[in-house]
């Protein structure tokens, strides 16, 4: 059974720091992995989707990597800003229908 874990549960950094969020999964036979952002009281915003054949995907200051063999993905945020404060979730589909299994999320706080 696929399980997705995100550590740490919370992270606080000063503005301007580069940071890495971690996501691990137990079954390496994945189609892809998706990173989301959730602001308090809001829905999920898709940040990046990495296909199983890719090792990296970039969008602006965000870079996501995928290592299927070790069951790990990282989300790198460069030059963090207070506006990056949110909960970041990773998720993997467990069937062709797209059923997603989510990690518990990392709550990021970027202090001015």
Partner 1 sequence: NAGVTQTPKFQVLKTGQSMTLQCAQDMNHNSMYWYRQDPGMGLRLIYYSASEGTTDKGEVPNGYNVSRLNKREFSLRLESAAPSQTSVYFCASSERGSYNEQFFGPGTRLTVL
User: What does the binding site for partner 1 look like in residue numbers (CB under 8 A)?
Assistant: 31-32, 34, 36, 42-46, 49, 89, 91, 93, 95-100, 102-105
The nearer residue to partner 1, 22 or 32, going by C-beta atoms, is 32
Q: Provide, rounded to whole angstroms, the least separation between the CB of residue 17 and partner 1.
A: 27
C-beta of 69 vs 96, nearer to partner 1:
96
CA distance to 26, 37, 77, 82, 105, per residue, from 100 (Å): 14, 15, 23, 29, 14
**Distance, first Cα to last Cα, the chain:** 41
Cβ 48 to partner 1, closest distance in Å?
9
Q: What does R_g of the chain's alpha carbons equal in angstroms?
A: 13
Q: How far is the CB of 14 from partner 1 (least distance, A)?
A: 28
Pairing of strands 86-93, 106-111: antiparallel
């Amino acid at each position: 059974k696929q399980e997705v874990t995100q550590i740490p549960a919370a992270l606080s950094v000063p503005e301007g720091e580069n940071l890495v969020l971690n996501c691990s999964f137990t079954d390496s036979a994945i189609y892809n992995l998706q990173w989301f952002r959730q602001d308090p009281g809001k829905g999920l915003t898709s940040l990046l989707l990495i296909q199983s054949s890719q090792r990296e995907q970039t969008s602006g200051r965000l870079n996501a990597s995928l290592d299927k063999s070790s069951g790990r993905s990282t989300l790198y945020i460069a030059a963090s800003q207070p506006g990056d404060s949110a909960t970041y979730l990773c998720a993997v589909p467990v069937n062709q229908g797209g059923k997603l299994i989510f990690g518990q999320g990392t709550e990021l706080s970027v202090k001015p």
